[in-house]
Structure 1
Amino acid sequence: MGKIVLYIAQSLDGFIADENGKFDFLNDFMRPEEDYGYAEFLKTLGAVIMATTTYKDILKLGFWYDGLENHIFSNQLLTVPEGKTIQQHSGDPSALVAELRQKEKDTWLVGGASLVTQFLNKGLLDELMVAIIPRTLGRGIPLFKDVDVRYAPELKGSKVFSDGVVMLHYVFANK
């Protein structure tokens, strides 16, 4: 059965982007010699889920998740690059998550913060892989905001990288 996994990076002080929605603080850590487990993680996936802003940011970067189902939550009519497909959704993600959990491969909840909060509040997240980036932003978009539910996830693993990045892998076993 497929799991819903949030794989994300945050600053040391808990932000996934600065107050303008930029994630430039990650630039020093995008090096070809280290991918922080990203390539191995991608092999486990059959789908990605993201919200409008994340989708638009990915398109600006000229990136696409080839070979994966692309599910976008948006209340806007979205443009899709030529030759690519998305499945657009709005509202409660519970039915989509139930469908994706029946698949063999996992699904990556890419972002953004409001969608992450919705998944947490509805108990739809199975695992969290968060890379703690050794930078502080002072203010910005927090990873967790307005979460109504308390969790005590179990630490599945951790890895410290030579540049100070720490990858934490949690399982929401008691939700």
Structure 2
Amino acid sequence: MRELVYYVAVSLDGFIAGPNGEYDAFAVEGDHMTAINERYSDTVATHVAEAFGVEADGRMFDTVLMGWNTYAVGLPYGITSPYRHLRQIVFSREHAAAAERVEGVEVTDRNPGEYVRELKAEEGSSIWLCGGGALAAALADEIDRLVIKRYPVLFGAGVPLFGPRAYAPQAFEAVEARAFESGVTFGEYARRG
């Protein structure tokens, strides 16, 4: 069965974006980028991978899930299909029936948990939960693995790693931890049990 992996950048104070969706405080230069390009190359946007010769081959992920706000980050720049090398699924109750349809991007208003259980039963690589925090909260029970890239920056406010959800502790165990000279740390956690 396929895994759902929440692979995401986060500030020291637990935010994946600033109050207005800002994410530019997350450094895109430094020794941590080698690790991203080697192991997690599927998470590099297609146009960036092509420009820098990064091979995104579907070895780690073949599907990406996004909430509308995460997907919409690229729209002002004309980026309507950010991960063309992956199956792209965007969850939105407001935009599912709208004209924002783009080839290679599926916008759905389906229940995220039900849909992810169906995706997990399919053949393929792991499923990448790209963001945002509200979608992560809706899928908390389905997340099999967390890969947290913690950046040495404080936002003070913004989009939390997980949006509000009913209190239900969920145990994960540490699988790997790496620290880089850039100050970025990677922590990988697998669901316990």
- Structure-1-length-normalised TM-score: 0.87
Indicate if the aligned counterparts of 1:36 and 1:167 stay in contact, CA closer than 8 A: no
Q: What is the aligned partner in structure 2 of residue 38 from structure 1?
A: 36
Residues 158/74 of structure 1: CA separation in 2 closer, same or farther (3 Å cut): same
* Identical counterparts, % of pairs: 27
Structure 2 unpaired stretches of 5+ = 43-58
From 120, 124, 127, give the equivalent of 1:107. Answer: 127
Q: What is the aligned partner in structure 1 of residue 65 from structure 2?
A: 49
- Alignment partner of 1:30: what SS? coil
Q: What is the aligned partner in structure 1 of residue 153 from structure 2?
A: 135
Indicate if the aligned counterparts of 1:74 and 1:89 stay in contact, CA closer than 8 A: yes
Deviation at 1:85, TM superposition (A): 1.6
Asked whether 1:12 is paired with 2:12, we answer: yes
Residues 135/78 of structure 1: CA separation in 2 closer, same or farther (3 Å cut): farther
From 88, 93, 116, give the equivalent of 2:112. Answer: 93
Task: Write the letter of the residue equivalent to 1:106.
Answer: S
Task: Write the letter of the residue equivalent to 2:180.
Answer: F
Deviation at 1:136, TM superposition (A): 0.7
Structure 1 unpaired stretches of 5+ = none
Q: What is the aligned partner in structure 1 of residue 100 from structure 2?
A: 79
- Alignment partner of 2:33: what SS? coil
Deviation at 1:38, TM superposition (A): 2.6
Moved beyond 4 Å, runs of 4+: none
- Alignment partner of 2:142: what SS? coil
Paired residues, number: 168
Q: What is the aligned partner in structure 2 of residue 163 from structure 1?
A: 182
- Structure-2-length-normalised TM-score: 0.79
Counterparts of 2:82 and 2:162 in 1: how far apart (Å)?
26
Counterparts of 2:113 and 2:187 in 1: how far apart (Å)?
26
- Alignment partner of 2:70: what SS? helix
Counterparts of 1:6 and 1:19 in 2: how far apart (Å)?
21
